[in-house]
Structure 1
Amino acid sequence: MTIDKKAIAHSFSRAAPHYDSVAHVQRQVGEAMLDLLKASALKVDTALDIGCGTGALTVALECYAQHITALDLAPGMLEVARHNDQRGVINRFVCGDAEQLPFEAEQFDLIFSSFALQWCEDLDKVLSDVFTLLRPGGRFVFSVPVENTLRELKLSWRKADSRYQHVNEFMTVDAVKRSLDASPFTLMELQEKLNMVYYDTVRELTRELKTLGAHQVINNRTHSLTGKKTVFQMMSNYEHFRNHQGLLPASWHYLVISLQKD
């Protein structure tokens, strides 16, 4: 799989103005991450949020750090984050790539990243770079969606059209654990979670994914419009997942991880 960073930046910039209105799972993930930070009573000097999005979680880091830097690949997200930061909590906004972090070594005490690193090709490199940016004793708290995320949508598309990949693939839990084992970090905590979100129709789900900017952004997708017949077949396939309450489930499978630089 090849990840198209320009497509990601464009997609999330377009999604930015309406992102928070549908980011239900993302808020739950953020709360789980902040809960990990609450275990530490000390407020550190500097923090970096990689993939800050609209800045909602970045502002919440005010309780844990004196000086906060927000980084995102999408200029549109940074623009919304600036607007949302009414109290001026965030000290610096940087447009940049998580795989090419534009900072000097040992610059931060805390690095935070929620649902952003899945858009990176090389998690090992990201972990190595983050380790370099942290001061001794610093923490890296991050979350990533993994293999069974949107499994119902993936299966429905696969049965309708196996020629192309219509839904982004995410890392397996084992692959993430291998990267953690190979990194120089000490693993403090790893939580594996599965959240279910329910919809009345498939179109409601796909519209929400588009609003989140989380629709197809990989290079091996089909570049032509998918035919109406194929879309109808996918939607028909998805109906097999409808539960006894008449709702369609969508799985969000993710990891919340806390690491420390000794």
Structure 2
Amino acid sequence: MNASLPSQSLPDKRQVAASFSRAAASYDGVAALQRTVGMQLLDKLPESTTQAQRWLDLGCGTGYFSRELSARLPAARGVAVDIAEGMLRHARPLGGAQDFIAGDAEALPLRDNSTELIFSSLALQWCADFPAVLDEARRVLSPGGVMAFSSLCIGTLQELRDSWQTVDGFVHVNRFRAFEDYLTLCANSDLQVVHLSRRAEVLHFADLRQLTHELKALGAHNLNPGRPGGLTGRARLRALAEAYETFRQPKGLPATYQVVYGVLRKDS
């Protein structure tokens, strides 16, 4: 099995950073799913992490979970890292971590054995080289340290993907690796797998416009390389809306997110 996604499968990191930087001001207003997933990830932290003296919020975004970690571990020193400078500028004045650093999960700007806890919620799906992420986590974790992450896998926004498929056959939805790849890559890493699971989270929207507005406000709209250029014509959008209507449920139009939860530990 190829250990990483082909480079053409995921967006360029600079595009990801720019998109999320632009979304910094609007992100928190539409981040209900991100809150839910992050809180569930916090609940999966092993008891041992309550003794952590140093933690890392990897892909900190607006710093919501940096502040949560600070509240839960008031005696610990926190570092918040994100690839998007705009997110860091938004997060810094709100506190939580002692340090806010621009950095890449595949090449962390941290010393070896420098933290007891890495927390990363809904950020690592943008990393093409997941084995490098795991290697870096093992490097910066102190012995016995824990990495807890949530990510997205294939099946995320499947309703939107299928609707576009009926319209023009192009992939308008961000690509993610398979859950089975997470199982294999984590098992083959030098970290002990404490927990690894997948859970579907379904949001409902009144109409297609509400969904696409939220994706743009999050900075998570289609960033695929090779995506169709130019404006999406009204006729195509009408066709997309009609195709999506076939998925409508009593609560509204569903948008399914396939969320991966992982807890890994470095050997003592």
Distance 2:100 2:212 in 1: 31
Aligned length: 257
Instruction: Quickly say closer, same or farther: Cα 1:255–1:246, change in 2 above 3 A.
Output: closer
Q: Quote the offset at 1:95 in angstroms.
A: 0.8
Give the equivalent residue in structure 2 for 1:233: 239
SS at match of 2:111: coil
Greater shift, 32-41 or 46-55, is seen at 32-41
Matched to 1:206, the amino acid is T
Matched to 2:215, the amino acid is L
Matched to 1:232, the amino acid is R
Q: Quote the offset at 1:161 in angstroms.
A: 1.2
| 2:208 corresponds to 1:202 | yes
Give the equivalent residue in structure 2 for 1:157: 164
CA contact (8 A) 1:3 1:120 kept: no
CA contact (8 A) 1:50 1:112 kept: yes
Matched to 2:116, the amino acid is D
CA contact (8 A) 2:10 2:126 kept: no
Give the equivalent residue in structure 2 for 1:128: 135
Unpaired segments ≥5 residues, structure 1: none
CA contact (8 A) 2:10 2:174 kept: no
Q: Quote the offset at 1:41 in angstroms.
A: 6.4
CA contact (8 A) 1:111 1:140 kept: yes
1:6-21 matched pairs, under 5 angstroms = 6-21=14-29
| 2:189 corresponds to 1:179 | no
Q: 2:77 aligns with which of 52, 57, 67?
A: 67
- 4+ long deviations beyond 6 Å: none
Distance 1:41 1:181 in 2: 22
Q: Quote the offset at 1:196 in angstroms.
A: 0.9
SS at match of 2:77: strand
Give the equivalent residue in structure 1 for 2:194: 188
Distance 2:209 2:233 in 1: 15
Post-superposition CA distance 1:166-206 (Å, at most 9, x none): 10011111011111111011111123211111111001000
Post-superposition CA distance 1:128-153 (Å, at most 9, x none): 11111111000000000111111100
Matched to 1:73, the amino acid is I
Distance 2:50 2:219 in 1: 35
Give the equivalent residue in structure 1 for 2:230: 224
Q: Could you say what the CA RMSD is over the residues aligned between the two structures, in angstroms?
A: 1.4
| 2:261 corresponds to 1:259 | no
| 2:54 corresponds to 1:46 | yes
Q: 2:63 aligns with which of 55, 61, 86?
A: 55
Q: Quote the offset at 1:38 in angstroms.
A: 6.1
CA contact (8 A) 1:9 1:75 kept: yes
Give the equivalent residue in structure 2 for 1:113: 120
TM-score (norm 1): 0.94
Instruction: Quickly say closer, same or farther: Cα 1:138–1:38, change in 2 above 3 A.
Output: closer
Distance 1:103 1:137 in 2: 17
Give the equivalent residue in structure 2 for 1:26: 34
Instruction: Quickly say closer, same or farther: Cα 1:2–1:42, change in 2 above 3 A.
Output: closer
Instruction: Quickly say closer, same or farther: Cα 1:246–1:35, change in 2 above 3 A.
Output: closer
| 2:106 corresponds to 1:96 | no
CA contact (8 A) 1:2 1:220 kept: no
Q: 1:84 aligns with which of 90, 94, 98?
A: 94
Percent identity, please: 39
SS at match of 1:206: helix
Distance 1:114 1:40 in 2: 19
Matched to 1:71, the amino acid is V
Distance 1:200 1:14 in 2: 25
